[in-house]
Structure 1
């Protein structure tokens, strides 16, 4: 049985689903050296076999990693961490709520089966709608707090930082900004806490005179929300950036890094967000998603977060009630 004590180097990562997102995550983790062993599972035996072969052909050019996989869920046995990307695809005429219902049913049966084979694994959900399926997985298993969590708004926050950095004319590493709430249309940009090289966004002036006035902030927030739709319209799926952002989350767990990331966790306590899975800055380490930080927010941002939680709570009640 794997030892999940903090500080121990964890080695086996399993990825459930060998579609565009799952294979992008596997590729990112391979070239970054995120794990010592990778296992891919997919119900399409030919597809997963081809992806495993293709990845193995590149192992000479990447950090050492053992790669296997197949169409039998047993390939995930003994995992230290499992990333779930599997889920039904939205069909023409199918509502998002219908899609959510399909994926909730899937994770309710899949997650217990995964934990039966890897009882100590940390499980990360990337499947959409991520907040809803993460809540369903936690409910279906009764897992300890933080052992199951979702990728949340980590990628959304990356998109936000890129857009701010591009306008400000600075490196993206010098921008600190976070998106919270639902990974979706009701997500909230915490502009009150955005800094650019330590300078608050509302007083920052770029070399070319560009500023972050109310109109610019609203425009950037809209771009963050709608950028996925733009990518899907152009190439059919978002996969490369989610592959890289997921690799960062994986490394936070497998290397016990204690990174603060806006992942989706089951919120506790008596606040407006209690009982739903949504994203807030959270310490991610070898045990999974840990302490949620109390982030200062403006009254408008806090109201937006309450509305985001209400939206998620209503969908959860519809699907799991």
Structure 2
């Protein structure tokens, strides 16, 4: 049987993720779902008509779903399900402002996924990310390694891009890393960041690194403020699609993701942004990287901040 991936939610984020997944041409089928009648079918029709131009064979299927799980039978057999459903941020909103509304949506989606695609790996991108990842695992009842969140790849990409722009060097020559939560307690890792193989701290003064860290932490809010009627989707969809590809190809790629941490870094029992080896079953293992004392302390502080919020979503 061929590979199948589902994207739940056909807004800008979901539709762009579906497009990237289709153009990879590593899946036989991409299913895109939404509660807005006709929208996913229209997007699927449009995407399929791009196949001769972009030269891919993946078939895109669009399905309208209902509030009580109607239509979800179409996702049956999915290897990966990417959950983008939920409200995007508006200017002035924090990710946490979305908590109650998106918790209801994500719980319903996760229950439907468990019913119809019980063997899928679930990638959560709905905000607030760390809390929604924890909720999706609780609601689905899936093993913790089969539910992960997209955050670290996006934050790392933003950090890398800002460093490359500031130093006027090719993006490919920069390597950065961010861990922790997707939000205020994001933990940049300058000790693991390089420019053309040289440590970032040698290429840039500490004050400038801190400025770019702040810019990264507020990267999503900056986009929201400029767009006014939505949130980022090009960079986030690139990150989510790349994670789904790593699952489909059982690649073993080590990526910064939101994963269940159970003992690594002296942290246990929480979903947190860490590096993890990704394969067909989701997270194969959390990869502990060497951190300096300040970075480790920040990561542990992020874990406690996220732990308190993740406890709150269990009853939502």
Alignment length (residue pairs)? 306
What is the distance in 2 between the residues matched to 1:177 and 1:103? 30
Match of 2:153?
154
Q: Is the 8 A contact 2:103 2:313 kept in 1?
A: yes
- Quickly say closer, same or farther: Cα 1:92–1:224, change in 2 above 3 A: closer
**Gap runs ≥5 in structure 1:** 3-9, 205-211
Question: Aligned match of 1:263 in 232, 253, 257?
Answer: 257
1:277: how far off? 0.9
| 2:199 corresponds to 1:217 | no
CA RMSD of aligned residues (A): 2.0
1:14: how far off? 0.6
Q: Is the 8 A contact 1:34 1:247 kept in 2?
A: no
1:317: how far off? 2.3
What is the distance in 2 between the residues matched to 1:271 and 1:200? 23
| 2:66 corresponds to 1:67 | no
- Quickly say closer, same or farther: Cα 1:213–1:306, change in 2 above 3 A: same
Match of 1:41?
33
What is the distance in 2 between the residues matched to 1:91 and 1:244? 21
Question: Aligned match of 2:301 in 304, 307, 311?
Answer: 307
What is the distance in 2 between the residues matched to 1:127 and 1:259? 23
What is the distance in 2 between the residues matched to 1:152 and 1:119? 24
Match of 1:280?
274
| 2:23 corresponds to 1:24 | no
What is the distance in 2 between the residues matched to 1:88 and 1:247? 20
CA deviation map 1:256-282 (0-9, x unaligned) = 111110110111128553222111111
What is the distance in 2 between the residues matched to 1:78 and 1:16? 15
Query: SS of the counterpart of 1:257?
Result: coil
Q: In terms of mean alpha carbon deviation, does 83-92 or 152-161 score higher?
A: 83-92
| 2:48 corresponds to 1:56 | yes
What is the distance in 2 between the residues matched to 1:34 and 1:237? 28
What is the distance in 1 between the residues matched to 2:211 and 2:42? 42
Q: Is the 8 A contact 1:176 1:194 kept in 2?
A: yes
What is the distance in 1 between the residues matched to 2:35 and 2:194? 45
| 2:283 corresponds to 1:289 | yes
Query: SS of the counterpart of 1:284?
Result: strand
What is the distance in 1 between the residues matched to 2:17 and 2:262? 30
1:181: how far off? 0.5
| 2:233 corresponds to 1:239 | yes
What is the distance in 2 between the residues matched to 1:224 and 1:168? 16
- Quickly say closer, same or farther: Cα 1:317–1:272, change in 2 above 3 A: farther
Higher relative contact order (CA 8 A, sep 6+): 1
1:30: how far off? 2.2
Q: Is the 8 A contact 2:114 2:141 kept in 1?
A: no
**Gap runs ≥5 in structure 2:** 65-70
Match of 1:209?
none
What is the distance in 2 between the residues matched to 1:81 and 1:112? 15
1:92-241 correspondence runs (5 A)? 96-204=95-203, 212-235=204-227, 236-241=230-235
Q: Is the 8 A contact 1:69 1:75 kept in 2?
A: no
What is the distance in 2 between the residues matched to 1:156 and 1:95? 16
Q: Is the 8 A contact 1:152 1:278 kept in 2?
A: no
The structure that is strand-richer by fraction is: 2
1:31: how far off? 2.4
- Quickly say closer, same or farther: Cα 1:88–1:272, change in 2 above 3 A: farther
What is the distance in 2 between the residues matched to 1:305 and 1:313? 12
